[in-house]
Structure 1
């Protein structure tokens, strides 16, 4: 493999592995705020127990998320030096803002959150929980802003030429609120909320199936289900808004997402299919004119297809973009059906009577992770061949001094280290889950006085 492909694989691997953890931290953080808020409002001990239990899992997730995220900053300098020079002013502003507004907030309150239960008042501890949660959300904001600028650059001008060219910020807030950032931030937050909610649903569904911590698990399950139902529905809205933005700002990406090749014709909306890039056709089941309707509210309105763009300015892996995009959409629609059905059973008073449904929820913890990863792969592969859309191609952005062997060696090393971290995460997570929210072995009836 050449240097460019290896550098892309390495960064894709490290960022995809890292992105397992921040969504869990944000999502679990939201529900921790709800648990602790209910504890302060009602005084019921079970909500404090749930907060303490999920705080332990939050701390594990947060710690490994920080450890796995640091390496990416070094990759910018080692493997993507031309890119780093080009976007340094933009990324420097966004990452400085992250350090000031997000990391500062998290680090201020994290110690109180973890160690302050018996040292500060319940209200101060609740404020620290909110502070850490908001810090994790703000961290996502600035990372997404930086990435969104690559998709839809704004608030800048170019200084220099050739390898010395670089983008300079001319309007900080125009850079922050570039055409895609708000839609993408909301969509990322919602994906994170679902990751955390389904983690909590999974663990407490497991307890209910095993007949352990039944009463406290029913309470936690209902709260997480409420969050998952609301977010599943609202994510459909933000996803549609984001796709509308792609139609305006990145039409080649939209065409790749639906495998639409015709230069100017009504575009179908595929439920699933397969793109044959050689023949430039899609085999699958779709709604004729469906994409045209979603974009223009007209089934017959033409949409620019991939044939309307130069061959060297469209994604090289159209089928991959198509598949990743449809995986994300399919999982999102499954979430809507699953949570609405579970909510209907809750309304009927039969939520916990369906063992098969609890089993689905127990295994569903993987689905938000798959959807989040697939969405990012669709977004990033759909942007190709540009690393900064319309300005800097990926083939021009990597470091000229780094050899393929050096990148391959570091990729193998990262894989080994990250595999160890992942096994450590699974071991710690499994240990906390098996122990449970409170110690049954000391007194199995201890919890009865709280319910």
Structure 2
């Protein structure tokens, strides 16, 4: 493999591993706000116990997420020096905004969130929970804005030529609200809500199946199911808007999503299939004219295909992009079906009797994670051969002095370290889950009168 492919593999590996954790912290943050809000509203200790328990899980996820994210910032300089120079002004402003408005907010209030019980008032602690949840979302905002600028650059001018060229911001807010940023942000945030809520669903399903911590587990399952159901349905709308934006701004990527080559034909929508890029054929189960209808609300308007785009500017791994995109959609539909079925059974009062469904929920924690990962792969590989769409090619963005053997060596080391971190994460997570949410010195019936007197919200 050449240096470019190895560097792409290395960055893809590090960002894919890191991307396990931020969606979990974003989704878990919103669930924590609801849990603690329920405690303050009802005064029931079960909500305090579950909030305390999930705060411990949140702290673990946050810590591993920070550790795994540091490596990527160094890779910008070591592997992608030309890229770093080219987008330095754009990424610099976005990362600075993340540090000021997101990371400082989240990490600052995290200490109160973890250690503030019985040390600050209930209002202050609840406020810190909200701030941590907002901080995690603000972090996603600036990262997605920076990445979206690469997909649909706006609000800039180019200074210099060749390897000395760089993008300089001319309108900060035009850069922030570039044509794809809001669609991609909403899609990423909702995906994070699914990741966090399904983690809570999985753990509580496990407790219910084992007949442990039943009162807390059932209450926590209901809260997470509400978030997951709303998020799974909202993801339909955010995904549709995002696809409309891709059709307008990155037609080559959309054509790769559906394996559409001929610009003179209406575009079919495939439920599953296989792309033969050499023959420019797709075999599989399809809805004739389905993509045309979704984009234009008719079955006659042609959709721009890959053949209308110069070969050097097309995605090369069309089948890979096609498969990743369709796996993402399939998982999204499965999540909708699961959450609607569970919500219906909960309404009927029969949910917790369905052990087969609880077993599915115990393992379904993997589905949002896979969906988030393959969606990211589809978006990033579908952008190729551009690292900044239409402006800077991936092959031109590499560090000029980098050698393939150096990348192989660092990739091996990163793989070993990340495997170690992942094993540590699973060990600590498993240990906390087996310990459970109930402390033996606390009762779960109601808030003691002394606590009520000290709680300004419950007064």
TM-score interval, normalised by the smaller of the two chains: over 0.9
Distance 2:446 2:96 in 1: 49
Measured after TM superposition, the shift of residue 447 of structure 1 is 3.6
Structure 2 counterpart SS, 1:194: helix
Aligned to 1:308: 308
SS in 2 for 1:303: coil
Indicate yes or no: 2:164 matched with 1:128: no
Contact 1:208–1:217 (8 Å) recurs in 2 = yes
1:367-382 superposed matches below 5 A: 367-382=367-382
Give the 5 Å matches for 1:63-82. Answer: 63-82=63-82
User: Cα offset for 1:28?
Assistant: 0.6
1:145-183 CA-to-partner distances (Å, cap 9, x unmatched) read: 000000000000101111111100000000000000001
Whole-angstrom distance in 1 between the partners of 2:408 and 2:131: 40
Q: Deviations over 1:327-377 (max 9, x none)?
A: 000000111111111111111111111110000000000000000000000
For the aligned residue pairs, the C-alpha RMSD in angstroms reads 1.2
Distance (whole Å) between structure 2 residues aligned to residue 264 and residue 13 of structure 1: 38
Deviation at 1:446, TM superposition (A): 4.5
Q: Give the CA deviation at 1:263.
A: 2.5
CA-CA distance at 1:264 after TM superposition: 2.4
TM-score calculated relative to the size of structure 1? 0.98
Partner of 2:25: 25
Partner of 2:154: 154
Return the alpha-carbon distance in structure 1 between the equivalents of residues 350 and 9 of structure 2.
Answer: 47
Matches within 5 A, 1:336-347: 336-347=336-347
Q: Which residue of 2 aligns with 1:218?
A: 218
Q: Equivalent residue of 1:265, what SS?
A: coil
For residues 347 and 113 of structure 1, the distance between their equivalents in structure 2, rounded to whole angstroms, comes to 33
Retained in 1: the 8 A contact 2:268–2:290?
Answer: yes
CA contact (8 A) 2:45 2:446 kept: no
Q: How many residues align?
A: 448
TM-score, normalising length: structure 2: 0.96
Residue 38 (str. 1) matches residue 38 (str. 2): yes
User: Quick one: distance in 2 between partners of 1:96 and 1:273?
Assistant: 43
Conservation of the 8 A alpha-carbon contact between 2:267 and 2:288: yes
Structure 2 partner of 1:188: 188
For residue 104 of structure 1, report the CA deviation from its aligned partner: 1.5
C-alpha separation in 2, matches of 1:297 and 1:19 = 35
SS at match of 1:304: coil
User: Take 2:281 and 2:429, find their aligned partners in 1: how far apart are those partners?
Assistant: 45
Q: What is the CA deviation profile of residues 169-222 of structure 1, one whole-angstrom value per residue up to 9, with x for unaligned ones?
A: 000000000000001111100000000000000000000000111111111001
Q: 1:334, 1:308 → 2: CA distance?
A: 34
Q: Which residue of structure 1 aligns with residue 229 of structure 2?
A: 229
Q: Which residue of 2 aligns with 1:96?
A: 96
Q: Distance in 1 between matches of 2:34 and 2:20?
A: 23
Instruction: Describe the superposition over 1:45-86 as per-residue Cα deviations: whole angstroms up to 9, x where unpaired.
Output: 111101000000000000000000011000000000000000
Alignment of 1:158-173 (within 5 A): 158-173=158-173
Separation in structure 1 between the aligned mates of residue 90 and residue 418 of structure 2, nearest angstrom: 29
CA contact (8 A) 2:45 2:444 kept: no
Q: Which residue of structure 1 aligns with residue 106 of structure 2?
A: 106
Paired position in structure 1 for 2:456 = none
What are the equivalent positions in structure 2 for 1:332-371 lying under 5 Å apart?
A: 332-371=332-371
Task: Map 1:407-446; keep pairs closer than 5 Å.
Answer: 407-439=407-439, 442=440, 446=443
> Who is 1:248 aligned against?
248
Distance 2:100 2:72 in 1: 19
Q: Which runs of 5+ in 2 are unaligned?
A: 448-459
The alpha carbon displacement at 1:103 in A equals 1.1
SS in structure 2 of the partner of residue 400 of structure 1: coil
Does the 8 A contact of 1:200 with 1:220 survive in 2? Answer: yes
Counterparts of 2:327 and 2:143 in 1: how far apart (Å)? 24
DSSP-derived class of the 1:387 partner = strand
1:264/1:308 contact within 8 Å kept? no
- After superposition, the Cα gap between the structure-2 partners of 1:118 and 1:449, relative to the gap in structure 1 and judged at 3 Å, is closer
Mapped to 2, the partners of 1:111 and 1:144 lie a distance apart of 26
Q: 1:446 to 1:100 in 2, by over 3 A?
A: closer
Return the alpha-carbon distance in structure 2 between the equivalents of residues 416 and 366 of structure 1: 22
Counterpart for residue 320 of structure 2: 320
1:274 aligned onto 2:290: no
Say whether the 8 Å CA contact 1:151–1:180 is kept in structure 2: yes
In structure 2, the partner of 1:56 is: 56
Q: Which residue pairs with 2:384 in the alignment?
A: 384
- The alignment partner of 1:437 has SS state of coil
Deviation track 1:10-56 (CA, whole Å, cap 9, x = no partner) reads: 00000000000000001111100000011111111111101000000
Q: Is 1:397 aligned to 2:404, yes or no?
A: no
Looking at structure 2, the residues matched to 111 and 353 of structure 1 have their Cα atoms a distance apart, in angstroms, of: 39
SS at match of 2:382: helix
Query: Do the aligned partners of 1:265 and 1:303 also contact (CA within 8 Å) in 2?
Result: yes
Distance 1:77 1:320 in 2: 28
